[in-house]
């Protein structure tokens, strides 16, 4: 199941050139650019792993694309990779954009869980299939 989330989620995946343009925009605004990856794309999973350091002092997208290439060497086809831009100005102090730049070859998607509570009532929840894998094989 092809998962979409974040900024541009309604568009096809961005090309490297388009990714570079977005990074240049963040750099122009002084936002720190981050590369993050995870195998669990659950929308409520805010704890993606950070690749390297936040990149706040590079002047050119080539530097971030270089790191993205390094990250892909390790995780391409195995994990979701996203790029986010963090604005540290007072009052914002939050992520300005974040979009997926790479996804696993197979996207297992989510299971729907039903929990019966209080007699006949049901609660629903989603769980990423990728989290079924045993601990040692996930990361």
Partner 1 sequence: MADDIATAPVIDLDAAFQDSGVGPILEQLETELVGLRPVKRRIREIAALLLIDKLRKDVGLTSQPPTLHMSFTGNPGTGKTTVAARMADILHRLGYIRSNHLVSVTRDDLVGQYIGHTAPKTKEILKKAMGGVLFIDEAYYLYRAENERDYGQEAIEIMLQVMESRRNDLVVIMAGYADRMNQFFTSNPGFRSRIAHHIDFPDYSADELLQIAELMLKEQNYRFSPSARDAFSKYMAARMSLPHFSNARSVRNALDRARLRQAVRLFETRGHAITRDDLMTLEADEVLASRVFAAAEEAAQEN
Distance, in Å, from the CA atom of 72 to the CA atom of 104, rounded to the nearest integer, reads: 11
Smallest distance from partner 1 to CB 35, Å? 12
Asked if 49 interacts with partner 1 (CB under 8 A), we say no
Which of residues 21 and 126 has its CB atom nearest to partner 1 in the complex? 21
Q: Which of the stretches 11-19, 59-67, 84-92, 97-105 binds partner 1 when contact is defined by CB under 8 A? A: 59-67
| Cα 46 to Cα 54, 65, 75, 111, 115, distances in angstroms | 16, 23, 19, 19, 24
Smallest distance from partner 1 to CB 124, Å? 45
Asked if 73 interacts with partner 1 (CB under 8 A), we say no
- Phi/psi at 44 (5° precision): -90, 0
- 67 and 56 Cβ atoms separated by less than 8 Å: no
Site for partner 1, residues 78 to 137, rule: CB under 8 A: none
Asked if 66 interacts with partner 1 (CB under 8 A), we say yes
Phi-psi domain of 8 (left: phi exceeds 0; alpha: psi -120 through 50; beta: other)? left
Residue numbers at the binding site for partner 1 (CB under 8 A): 55, 57-63, 66-67
């Amino acid at each position: 199941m092809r998962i979409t989330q974040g900024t541009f989620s309604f568009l096809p995946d961005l090309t490297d050139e388009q990714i570079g343009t977005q990074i240049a925009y963040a750099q122009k605004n002084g936002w720190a650019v981050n590369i993050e990856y995870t195998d669990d794309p659950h929308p409520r999973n805010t704890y993606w792993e950070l690749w390297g350091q936040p990149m706040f002092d590079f002047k050119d997208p080539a530097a971030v694309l270089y790191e993205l290439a390094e990250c892909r060497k390790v995780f391409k086809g195995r994990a979701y990779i996203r790029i986010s831009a963090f604005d540290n100005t007072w009052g914002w102090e939050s992520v300005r954009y974040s979009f997926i730049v790479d996804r696993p070859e197979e996207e297992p998607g989510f299971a729907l869980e039903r929990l019966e509570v209080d007699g006949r009532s049901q609660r629903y929840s989603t769980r990423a299939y990728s989290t079924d894998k045993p601990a040692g094989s996930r990361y």
